[in-house]
Amino acid sequence: MTPVYADAHTIDSAIAFLETDYEPLQSNREVAEISDVIVQGKIVTVREGPQYGRLGDDLTDLSSVVIEVQSENIVQGTLAGDTLYVSMLSPAGNSIADWNRGLPAGVDVVVYAEQSSEGVAGETGEIDTNNWGAGRPDGAALYLPQPQGFVVQTGENRLVWPLTGVTREATFADALPGDTAVGVPLPGEGTPALDTVA
């Protein structure tokens, strides 16, 4: 069976101008400590997700996508089934077709995520949400990836963390808690650029 790889340049274009504010962690174990679930699996598809912002204020509307991941290994935590629905902001002008080109069905992925409190009974989010259930079945939980906790394969033994712009020669086993492929530049590395195998 021919492996399916993500296209790092297409992903980079899809999330262009999206800035992630986070505190860099130096190990996958630290990322695991702040995550509700860690799932290793394959991408099924990317769909339109909820829209965030202030109701009635077009200036603050932020679109999102929901990435459906079929779990092959739940490394940490539990899921209500074997599917993880992961939300990412999608800057204006990006299409679902772009996202699905960058993250085609069958791409291997590891996700460290926390469950979103938006839309959960008894919880009040800090921002308004339009079409909260978009991109997933009714009642399915929505998860937010840690910036250092979304890693895809772009070639044989080649991993990319799109939200931090890090590329590493490594396997998925190296990206799990306790192993060494970390999605943040380590001391002395600078900031690796997203890249694909020629």
Q: Could you report the per-residue pLDDT of 119-168, keeping only the tens digit for each?
A: 554 444 455 677 888 899 998 999 999 999 999 999 999 999 988 888 89
Pair of tokens at residue 3:
């492996």
How far is Cα 6 from Cα 50, in angstroms, rounded to an integer? 24
| pLDDT, tens digit (0-9, with 9 covering 90-100), for 3-27 | 899 988 888 777 765 666 778 888 9
Residue 57 has pLDDT above 70, yes or no: no
Compute how many other C-beta atoms are within 10 angstroms of the C-beta atom of residue 150. 23
Residue for token pair 């202030």: 54
Q: With left for phi above 0 and alpha for psi between -120 and 50, is residue 106 left, alpha or beta?
A: left
Q: Could you tell me if 103 and 154 are in contact, meaning their C-beta atoms sit under 8 angstroms apart?
A: no
Compute how many other C-beta atoms are within 10 angstroms of the C-beta atom of residue 60. 12
Q: Number of C-alpha atoms within 13 angstroms, CB side, residue 100?
A: 10
Q: What is the number of residues in the chain?
A: 198
In the DSSP assignment, the letter for residue 174 is G
Q: Could you tell me if 52 and 109 are in contact, meaning their C-beta atoms sit under 8 angstroms apart?
A: no
Pair of tokens at residue 15:
């999330």
How far is Cα 38 from Cα 41, in angstroms, rounded to an integer? 10
The whole model's pTM is what?
0.86
Pair of tokens at residue 2:
């021919």
